[in-house]
Chain A
Amino acid sequence: MSVQGQQALLEARGIGKRFGALAAASDINFRLDTGARQALIGPNGAGKTTFINLLTGVLAPTEGKVLLNGDDITGMAQSLRVKRGIARTFQINRLFRGLSVLENVYIPVSEQLGAAPRMFRPAGLRKDVIDAAMNLLEMLKLQDVAGNKISELPYGRQRLVEIAIALGLAPKVLLLDEPAAGVPSAETHIILDAIARLPKDIAVLIIEHDMDLVFRFAERITVLVGGRIFAEGTPKEIGTNPDVRAVYLGQAASHG
Chain B
Amino acid sequence: MNAPDLNASAAAQTFIHRHRLRWWEPIPWILAIGFFYLFPRHLGFGNEMLVMVLFALSLDLVLGYAGIVTLGHAAFFGVGAYTVGMLAHHGVWTEPISGLLIAAVVAAVFGLVSGLVLLRTTGLTLLMLTLCFMLLLEEAANLAQKWTGGYDGLDTVPIDAIFGRFEFNPLIPSVQYIYILCVLFVGFLIVRTIVYSPFGESLTGIRENTLRMHAVGAPVRQRLVVCYGISAAIAGVAGAIWAQSNAYVNMSTLSLDRASTVLILLVLGGYGRLYGAFIGAVAYMVLSHYLAKIYPTAWQLGLGLMLVIIALGARNGILGVAETIAAKFRRKPVSS
Residue positions of A touching B, CB distance < 8 A: 56, 78-83, 88, 90, 94-103, 106-108, 110-112, 115-127, 129-131, 134-135, 138, 143, 146-149, 151-152, 165, 168-169
Known: A115-B198, A116-B198, A120-B193. A152 touches B335 (CB 8 A): yes
Contacts of B218 in A (CB 8 A): 79, 107, 111, 116
* Residue pair A123, B217 in contact (C-beta under 8 Å): no
Contacts of A80 in B (CB 8 A): 217
Binary A-proximity of B69-87 (CB < 8 A = 1, otherwise 0): 0000000000000000000
Further pairs besides A96-B204, A117-B199, A169-B217: 9, Cβ < 8 Å = A78-B215, A79-B219, A82-B217, A98-B207, A107-B202, A117-B223, A119-B199, A147-B15, A151-B335
B11 within 8 A of A: yes
- Inter-chain CA distance A32–B163, complex, in Å, is 68
Known: A123-B15, A123-B201, A169-B216. A95 touches B194 (CB 8 A): no
* A118 (CB) vs chain B CBs: closest residue: B198
The stretch from B16-24, B97-105, B126-134, B292-300 touching chain A is B16-24
* Residue pair A135, B214 in contact (C-beta under 8 Å): no
Can you list 9 A-B contacts with CB-CB less than 8 angstroms, sorted by A residue number? A78-B215, A96-B212, A107-B202, A107-B205, A117-B202, A123-B19, A124-B17, A124-B18, A151-B336
* Residue pair A94, B209 in contact (C-beta under 8 Å): yes
CB within 8 A of B209: which of A56, A95, A119, A138? Answer: A95
* A134 (CB) vs chain B CBs: closest residue: B4
* A110 (CB) vs chain B CBs: closest residue: B198
Smallest CB–CB gap between B79 and chain A, Å?
23
B197 within 8 A of A: yes
- Inter-chain CA distance A233–B178, complex, in Å, is 76
* Residue pair A138, B4 in contact (C-beta under 8 Å): yes
* Residue pair A100, B11 in contact (C-beta under 8 Å): yes
Known: A119-B200, A146-B12. A131 touches B4 (CB 8 A): yes
Smallest CB–CB gap between B106 and chain A, Å?
21
- Inter-chain CA distance A56–B216, complex, in Å, is 11
- Inter-chain CA distance A119–B16, complex, in Å, is 16
Known: A83-B217, A123-B197. A130 touches B209 (CB 8 A): no
* Residue pair A106, B15 in contact (C-beta under 8 Å): yes
* Residue pair B208, A98 in contact (C-beta under 8 Å): yes
Classify the interface of chain A: helix, strand, loop or mixed. Answer: helix
B1 within 8 A of A: yes
B305 within 8 A of A: no
Give the 10 A-B residue pairs with the shortest CB-CB distance, closest first: A147-B11, A82-B217, A146-B11, A122-B19, A119-B199, A96-B208, A124-B16, A94-B212, A134-B4, A79-B217
* Residue pair A146, B193 in contact (C-beta under 8 Å): no
Smallest CB–CB gap between A17 and chain B, Å?
19
Smallest CB–CB gap between B312 and chain A, Å?
20
B306 within 8 A of A: no
* Residue pair A94, B215 in contact (C-beta under 8 Å): yes
Give chain B interface residues in 210-231, CB to chain A under 8 Å. 211-219, 223
* Residue pair B201, A110 in contact (C-beta under 8 Å): yes
Contacts of B17 in A (CB 8 A): 124
CB within 8 A of B12: which of A115, A130, A165? Answer: A130
* Residue pair B197, A130 in contact (C-beta under 8 Å): no
- Inter-chain CA distance A122–B195, complex, in Å, is 8
- Inter-chain CA distance A106–B196, complex, in Å, is 13
- Inter-chain CA distance A126–B335, complex, in Å, is 27
Smallest CB–CB gap between B14 and chain A, Å?
6
Smallest CB–CB gap between A147 and chain B, Å?
3
- Inter-chain CA distance A134–B201, complex, in Å, is 17
- Inter-chain CA distance A138–B1, complex, in Å, is 11
Smallest CB–CB gap between B32 and chain A, Å?
25
* A120 (CB) vs chain B CBs: closest residue: B193
Known: A111-B218, A118-B198. A124 touches B6 (CB 8 A): no
CB within 8 A of A119: which of B9, B194, B213, B336? Answer: B194
- Inter-chain CA distance A100–B13, complex, in Å, is 13
- Inter-chain CA distance A24–B55, complex, in Å, is 51
B333 within 8 A of A: yes
Contacts of A107 in B (CB 8 A): 201-202, 205, 213, 216, 218
* Residue pair A135, B1 in contact (C-beta under 8 Å): yes
Known: A111-B217, A134-B6. A97 touches B208 (CB 8 A): yes
Contacts of A97 in B (CB 8 A): 208-209
B3 within 8 A of A: yes
Contacts of A138 in B (CB 8 A): 4
Smallest CB–CB gap between A245 and chain B, Å?
35
- Inter-chain CA distance A98–B203, complex, in Å, is 13
Contacts of B335 in A (CB 8 A): 149, 151-152
- Inter-chain CA distance A165–B208, complex, in Å, is 14
Smallest CB–CB gap between B173 and chain A, Å?
33
Interface centre among A107, A117, A151 (most CB of B within 10 A): A107
Smallest CB–CB gap between B120 and chain A, Å?
16
* Residue pair B208, A99 in contact (C-beta under 8 Å): yes
* B194 (CB) vs chain A CBs: closest residue: A119
B10 within 8 A of A: yes
